[in-house]
Structure 1
């Protein structure tokens, strides 16, 4: 079937899409190349079909999503990619969508920012719908990423994302709330605030959508693919060069904060898909780094109590495989007010005490683990400060006009008795 790929009101390209598989079979015509998604490979002035398909499939629910097989049975759908055409590719993260050539729509009448959408898909994803019933598949849940159960809901006219945790501890939603408090304590403003709701004794994190009808979230992965990486550039260097070439402001400063923050919470899953930048969809002007979101896979969320060690080798992403190495990329740590973090472990204790899935032993280990991460980062900051002081002292000694070395050199140059 022939569709027009749109970015809000702007036609981008005409695509032939297979209804059964959801795959893009052919790029029939390019209309506005500059409005293509960031990171799509361009070959001889045309978007590469494989690259475009990768982006398109990346909009679908991943096959690794918890409970997806059961949900697809309820939705009477074989593949998650088939759900893309059911909602015309519409999302609450950007303004890209596909408009049927035979019966076109207007963006104002179909987008999920201003129009109601069905709860059926979200309910199916949470196992709250019955097979065989007539379901409305027009939902932004069709284009939600990630492996944990999640769904979009309209609450008091606003769009909220509800997200579950994983067995056996269901800890990820609680981690999101702790992360929100940590941002506030660090006096950081560019973050998505999370709250906690309980339903049938299961915790869910809740956050309001930070994307508007005028903006789009561009993943770090798309940014990373916008340029070809040179062999002598590290992942970190290449990503910053891509940001510089695209004109994204403030990304290095943002990463300095993000790397320190992820170190504190022992985040093991800050991949290129859960941070990025925000762009105006009408003018294509970059507004800066996206606020920090999706920090639940942290604080040893899937580890048994005996495996929680604050000084252990905690895996990291996206630039280095361990936080002990990645934190070196964060630059100066002198902006951190460690006094604001003194009782963060007690706040975590109160938060964990409400969960029936986390016992006292695990609570003690997690609180001590978080406290240990704060101490570890503070020690790194002190060592860094000491190194700067020593380096500055050496530089002063070398150039100071009254330094002993210079006095000695002047003496030897002017003394008749010295050899």
Structure 2
């Protein structure tokens, strides 16, 4: 058991006292959802650590002389602070420390974290948000004109898939994290705008359970608006064959001052979807597992069906897909892409017809495949 003593903070507000690793909650409203669910401080701290399996994370730890540190010790080197929320840990021996002291103001190790830059290896230690930059891909945070941007590596098809899904989601009116291509990298602007709101991954609420129905029920109980937004997230995942939606790459936004749930976080992390692993053989989506799971959600949860029919303004067609392709300077098989996405959409629409449900789209022209 972790023998840790201090205070869990949100900015300069005390959230919980920690005595020998045990939580004594001071402000229940501000407590992270993970800790509300489990009370397990060590697990929460570990969840904030850089992925030790990334090649460049090992280089970073070596450069910072942290090679022998476990995940908890490593995140505590930066007071467990992250770019996307206001939580941090203040040890008993750090009584004069304030949020202003620990909040990240620069990142000297961005190049080392992103592509293993040898010129960064000999830099002196300074606090870096890379120690709490989670995920399996090589990436880094960069502060540009007062805003943090997350840069990520990827091949052409991964970057195309991420950018295309961003453009398609935006065209359909969904809440999407902002993405841009930057040379051979893709970058995304911090959607918390410097932790003006707190982002918490869904695992804080549902653990590792990514089952659609389980998640929908949890969001519906927490805050119905998030359940509505979750349906659009999964709809886009279904259209674009996102196999990699897991409980650490979607979540919620909370008010920093009150802890109130504001919304589902914008849709992000779609680089292992669509064409990222090449062109699937199943162009017309026969017996597609993601379509089956989404249809199951709509059939077994009437509210999910209600939210879907009210929220989805049905304007998906070949022209819309091609217009999104036009914005991305990566060559792909556009006919395949249209067939792949529209086949999924058609099967979802057929669900309504086969069950005698009005979806509100019957009078709209359907693009032939």
TM-score normalised to structure 2 length: 0.80
- What whole-Å deviation, never above 9, does each CA across 1:320-343 have from its counterpart, x for those lacking one? xx4422343142665545544323
- 1:194 CA drift (Å): 0.8
* Equivalent position of 2:124 in the other structure: 135
Moved more, 25-34 or 153-162: 25-34
* Equivalent position of 1:4 in the other structure: 7
Instruction: Confirm or deny: 8 A CA contact 2:177 2:268 kept in the other structure.
Output: yes
Instruction: Confirm or deny: 8 A CA contact 1:216 1:278 kept in the other structure.
Output: yes
Tell me, what secondary structure is at the counterpart of 2:254?
strand
* Equivalent position of 2:285 in the other structure: 311
Instruction: Confirm or deny: 8 A CA contact 2:16 2:25 kept in the other structure.
Output: yes
**Structure 1 residues 180, 349: CA separation in 2 closer, same or farther (over 3 Å shift)?**
closer
- What whole-Å deviation, never above 9, does each CA across 1:271-302 have from its counterpart, x for those lacking one? 11111111112111111211211122101312
- 1:96 CA drift (Å): 0.8
- 1:154 maps to 2:143: yes
* Equivalent position of 1:413 in the other structure: none
- What whole-Å deviation, never above 9, does each CA across 1:115-160 have from its counterpart, x for those lacking one? x222225534421244761333412221111101111111111111
One of 155, 173, 197 as aligned partner of 1:215: 197
- 1:309-388 matched pairs, under 5 angstroms: 309-311=283-285, 322-330=290-298, 331=305, 334=309, 336=312, 339-347=315-323, 350=326, 354-355=329-330, 363-364=332-333, 367-385=335-353, 387-388=355-356
CA–CA distance in structure 1, aligned partners of residues 11 and 25 of structure 2: 16
- 1:307 CA drift (Å): 4.3
Unaligned runs of 5+ in 2: 299-304, 359-369
* Equivalent position of 1:39 in the other structure: 34
Tell me, what secondary structure is at the counterpart of 1:40?
helix
CA–CA distance in structure 1, aligned partners of residues 284 and 60 of structure 2: 38
- 1:7-406 matched pairs, under 5 angstroms: 7-15=10-18, 26-27=21-22, 30-40=25-35, 48=39, 51-78=40-67, 79=69, 81=71, 82-103=73-94, 104-112=96-104, 116-120=105-109, 123-130=112-119, 133-165=122-154, 169-188=155-174, 190-198=175-183, 202-225=184-207, 235-246=211-222, 248-303=223-278, 305=279, 307=281, 309-311=283-285, 322-330=290-298, 331=305, 334=309, 336=312, 339-347=315-323, 350=326, 354-355=329-330, 363-364=332-333, 367-385=335-353, 387-388=355-356
Moved more, 82-91 or 31-40: 31-40
CA–CA distance in structure 1, aligned partners of residues 216 and 103 of structure 2: 33
**Structure 1 residues 220, 124: CA separation in 2 closer, same or farther (over 3 Å shift)?**
closer
Runs of 4+ in 1 over 6 A off after TM superposition: none
Return the structure number with greater relative CO, CA threshold 8 A, min gap 6: 2
- 1:212 CA drift (Å): 4.6
CA–CA distance in structure 1, aligned partners of residues 284 and 187 of structure 2: 25
- What whole-Å deviation, never above 9, does each CA across 1:363-404 have from its counterpart, x for those lacking one? 22x7504432213312431441453269xxxxxxxxxxxxxx
* Equivalent position of 1:398 in the other structure: none
Instruction: Confirm or deny: 8 A CA contact 1:164 1:205 kept in the other structure.
Output: no
Tell me, what secondary structure is at the counterpart of 2:189?
strand
Bigger Rg, structure 1 or 2: 1
Tell me, what secondary structure is at the counterpart of 2:34?
coil
Instruction: Confirm or deny: 8 A CA contact 1:62 1:145 kept in the other structure.
Output: yes
TM-score normalised to structure 1 length: 0.72
Unaligned runs of 5+ in 1: 17-24, 316-321, 391-419
Instruction: Confirm or deny: 8 A CA contact 1:348 1:367 kept in the other structure.
Output: no
CA RMSD of aligned residues (A): 3.2
CA–CA distance in structure 2, aligned partners of residues 83 and 341 of structure 1: 49
CA–CA distance in structure 1, aligned partners of residues 354 and 23 of structure 2: 62
Tell me, what secondary structure is at the counterpart of 1:138?
coil
- 1:186 CA drift (Å): 1.0
Tell me, what secondary structure is at the counterpart of 2:107?
coil
- 1:310 CA drift (Å): 4.3
CA–CA distance in structure 1, aligned partners of residues 243 and 170 of structure 2: 21
CA–CA distance in structure 2, aligned partners of residues 160 and 381 of structure 1: 37
